[in-house]
Amino acid sequence: MKVLLLNGSRREKGCTYTALSEIAQTLEKQGIQAEIIHAVPETEIIKSVAEKVKTADGLVVGSPVYWASPSGEIISFMDRLSSLAGKDLLHKPAAAVASARRAGTTATLDVLAKYFTYHQMPVVSANYWNVVHGNTPDEVKKDAEGMQIMRVLGNNMAWLLKCIEAGKNNGVQIPETEAKIMTNFIR
């Protein structure tokens, strides 16, 4: 199994990357392959990510908070990814992560979650909002609660992926009618 983690920050190895790395490490401890992709600038990699979505089992989208919202880059990326790979996103578990110095995180999570619910993706949660706080990667690492939330999120994603795989192995299928209806609207 594999989870793609999209880093929507302008800083490739910044605070959002630090949070996603904690999730990736947790997934790998659970036997789930994790790949962090820097989604900025999106024009260079959007087609390769759309191809990777076809075989990925789950998705985590992370963004710093800019003006109480996700970065414009990740919004643009998700818009284009939805157009290119919308049908391949259907029913794959997903989670949003926000990184901020202080506020705006819940609004950011809300914007990102809309991509997931539109594509009928089970939204993975943790034991609190999927956020980390800090102005630098070192400050984020010191956010003990935020880092613990990232680990819980990683464990919950692994658990849900394993449940879905067990269901598939026992004949449980996604209702064809529902998926076909949605693919008429999703490119």
The answer to whether position 178 is within a domain reads: no
CATH number, residue 34: 3.40.50.360
* Interatomic CA distance for residues 22 and 149, integer angstroms: 10
Q: Specify the residue for token string 């992709």.
A: 37
Tell whether 179 is covered by a domain.
Answer: no
pLDDT of residue 185: 54
What separation in angstroms does the CA of 58 have from each of 18, 138, 184?
Answer: 19, 28, 22
Instruction: Compute and round to an integer the Cα radius of gyration of the chain.
Output: 16
Q: Does residue 108 belong to any structural domain of this protein?
A: yes
What pLDDT does residue 182 have? 52
For the chain, which ranges sit under pLDDT 50?
A: 177, 179
In the chain, the number of structural domains is 1
pLDDT on residue 44:
77
- 98 is a domain residue: yes
Contact 135, 15 (CB under 8 A): yes
Report pLDDT for 174: 80
pLDDT of residue 186: 56
Q: Is residue 185 part of a domain?
A: no
Residue 26 lies in a domain: yes
Q: Select from 89, 92, 97 the least CA-distant residue to 151.
A: 97
Residue 44 burial (C-beta neighbours within 10 Å; 0-12, 13-18, 19+): exposed
Sheet holding 94-100, edge to edge: 33-38, 2-7, 58-64, 94-100, 131-133
* Residue 161: domain span: 2-170
Classify residue 180: in a domain, yes or no. Answer: no
Is 53 in contact with 21 (CB distance < 8 Å)?
Answer: no
φ, ψ (nearest 5 deg) of residue 9: -90, 150
Domain membership flag for residue 176: no
